[in-house]
Each structure stands twice: as C-alpha cells, then as structure tokens.
Homo-oligomer: A and B are copies of this chain.
C-alpha cells in the first residue's frame, strides 16, 4: 500500500489579516505527502532548486516520505506569494515565480512505479500524462487541475481525464469544465468525460462525492480558529489518497470515509502556516477531531414530518 504524488515543492510568502509567513515550506506535493503519510507510505515526484533547505527535505524524510523522485536543479525553487482577505473569503496572488519548475521533466524512480494510488496534483496536463505513462496502472488514479489548464490546455487535459478514476475539483472549475452553472448537473456532465467519481472541494463548507449513484455531502469541521488556508486542498487530497491506499475496498462507504480523512487533515493544515501544524498531527489528534466532527453533524431527522 503506497501512494505516489506528482506536484510542486515551493517556498511561499503568505499574508493574512493577522500574520505573515516568509519562505514557508509549501507546494502541492509537500502538503499532500505530509497528510498522506499519516495513512500510507508516500513517494514524491517533484523538483526543487539549489536553494532548497536540506532541513526541509529532512522534515519529510522523518515521515518516511520517499524523495528519490525529487530532482534538484540549478536555480531557485518555485515561489508563490499570496494575500488573504480579512475573513479568508478571497485570496490574491501577489507573485508566481516558476523558477526550476519551468524545466521540470518528471521521472518516476523504478522503485516507485507500482503505487496503489497515484495522485496527479495541479500541474501542466502534459506532465501528468508523462507520469501516467511511467507507472503500472494503479488501483486508483486521482487528478487535480485548475482554471488555467481548463482554459488553456484543454486537449491534454481531456486526455488525462479519460485515464483517471477520480477528479478533485472546486465549484468554479466544475462550472468552467462543464459549461454548466449548477454544481450537481455540472458534476454529472463531467462524469461523462472519463472519471467515475468526482470529489468537489467546497472549502469550509465541506465536500461532495458525486458518481453515477448520486451525491453524498460531507461537511467540514466547524473550526473556531484558522491561521492560513494555504494547502488545505492538497492536505485534503493527501488524507483522502493515503486513506484509500490503506483501505481494502473502493466502495462508496470507503470513498466517503476517505473524504472524512481528507477533511480532518485539511482542518489541521489551516491551523498553522506551512505544514507546521499538520506535521505534528497524531493518530489521536485525528480521532479526537473526528469525534468533534461527528458531534457537529446533524442526522437531518425531521420528526413527525
């Protein structure tokens, strides 16, 4: 039972109304792997620059995350800067420096080519295809993408979509990809493009699982304290994928449990900058927060109706 993720490793500059973080360890593969490694052995395919702190690699190694697929190239590591509005409703990107990411040619190490779950994080669809071509067909292939590729790289994206089991997406991306402005209808249309299930990430409102059997809503944890939402979606994807790799079946109940696992990971991620809180999460922390989530969710009874 192992997970392989291809994505970014980055240094982020993040501003919220209350605080700032500079050169914070970030990137989709980083957040993903820290969450995923709570449940299953996780290997990364990514690229970093010569400025990447060996101490940061050590933080991941300490979690038994496989870094053989992480290339180190001349030049600077990918950098992203963003600023959140007062109540985290919106996020403004201040800068994006691709740096070594611009020359990234992913190569999956021999030993990582038989994952149970492959997660294609949000990068150019042509790189996602390259990785798909290098692995033996995993039990589950899951995909993340974004508005930029939906608008600009649709042909490649469509090829990837036909080869994945599961798509992770948000409301806006679902509308854009389907051309339909109702989430339920949009999700149904996207199911015709290849994936047999969609996980719609709705942030603090939770997530939807949509497949040909219908929709299941999984609420998020009602947190009283949020520090920085950066990486929440990738932590969610990591918890989800790690849980699936460790599970024996792939039925609807297992998929829903995997969404819950992702939800719990995301709830810790947002309570610190970078992976600061997430990397301190214990199995007991997860259980305690799960109890809190269960206590918060109504069974939607309506006696006497």
Binding site for B on A (CB under 8 A): 17, 86-88, 171, 175, 181-185, 188, 202, 205-206, 208-209, 214-219, 222-226, 243, 246-247, 253-254, 256-257, 259-261, 264, 283, 286-287, 290, 293-305
CB-based contact A175/B253 at 8 Å: no
A17 / chain B contacts, CB cutoff of 8 Å: 181
CA separation between A184 and B286, bound complex, in Å? Answer: 20
**Number of identical protomers:** 2
Q: Which of B184, B218, B296, B298 contacts A224 (CB 8 A)?
A: B184
Beyond A305-B286, A305-B287, whether A217 also contacts B296 by CB under 8 A is yes
Other 13 A-B pairs with CB < 8 A, given A202-B205, A215-B296, A297-B297: A87-B181, A182-B224, A183-B222, A205-B205, A214-B295, A216-B296, A216-B298, A217-B222, A217-B298, A218-B298, A254-B303, A286-B305, A290-B302
**Between-chain CB contacts (< 8 Å), 5 pairs:** A17-B181, A185-B225, A217-B222, A218-B300, A260-B298
Closest residue on chain B to residue A262 by CB atoms: B302
